[in-house]
């Protein structure tokens, strides 16, 4: 296995952001309008609003991604985390999670929240490993969401 690197978003990486996320969402759920909006227009919907997007790169291949969406001053939502099936188990998700939380801190976050689904057992395990705690869900945006977690930084 070659070494994993975490890299920042650049416009030519948008197709990877879209592909990786559509792949996992469609595997478990249905894509919702909010997904399509964010995946097809990440600059306008995430970055221009004070968010961030990171990628995991294995050699020359983009194998995973995660985003950070600004909710309000000091509060960010970790969004759109995905790792391609062939690369799962290489710790890319853990590295992405650690990197995006570090990025959130740099960007002034004192709290990071996320929404997920109880079907995504491996993802929930990862979030707990990163330090997220489960809350009572209020999931507004996504119909597939039945889990809400947060972490104070």
Q: Which fold has domain 4-110?
A: Aminopeptidase (3.40.630)
Q: What are the Cα distances from residue 67, in Å, to 2, 39, 85, 126, 127? A: 24, 10, 19, 16, 14
Inter-axis angle of helices 92-106 and 121-130, nearest 10: 50
Write out pLDDT tens, residues 55-73. 999 999 999 999 999 999 9
pLDDT tens, 84-140? Answer: 999 988 999 999 999 999 999 999 999 999 999 999 999 999 999 999 999 987 766
Q: How many CB atoms lie within 10 A of CB 125?
A: 11
Task: Please give the distance of CA 17 from its chain centroid, rounded to a whole number.
Answer: 10
**Cβ-Cβ contacts under 8 Å for 121 (sequence gap 6 or more):** none
**What is the pTM assigned to this prediction?**
0.94
> CA-CA distance, 58 to 145, in Å (whole number)?
30
Q: Output the pLDDT for position 144.
A: 79
Q: How confident is the model at residue 2 (pLDDT cuts 50, 70, 90)?
A: low
- Give the start-to-end residue ranges of the domains of the chain: 4-110
Q: Does the pLDDT of residue 141 top 90, yes or no?
A: no
Q: Distance between CA atoms of 153 and 81, rounded to whole angstroms? A: 19
């Amino acid at each position: 296995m070659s070494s994993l690197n975490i890299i920042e978003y650049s416009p030519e990486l948008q197709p990877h952001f879209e592909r990786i996320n559509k792949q996992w969402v469609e595997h478990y759920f249905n894509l919702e309008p909010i997904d399509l909006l964010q995946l097809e227009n990440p600059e306008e919907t995430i970055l221009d609003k004070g968010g961030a997007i990171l990628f995991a790169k294995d050699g020359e291949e983009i194998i995973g991604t995660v985003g950070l969406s600004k909710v309000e001053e000091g509060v960010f939502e970790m969004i759109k985390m995905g790792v391609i099936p062939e690369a799962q188990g290489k710790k890319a998700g853990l590295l992405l999670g650690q990197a995006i939380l570090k990025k959130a801190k740099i960007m002034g976050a004192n709290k990071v929240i996320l929404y997920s689904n109880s079907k995504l057992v491996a993802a929930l395990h990862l979030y707990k490993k990163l330090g997220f705690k489960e809350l009572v869900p209020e999931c507004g945006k996504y119909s597939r969401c039945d889990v809400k977690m947060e972490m104070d930084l």
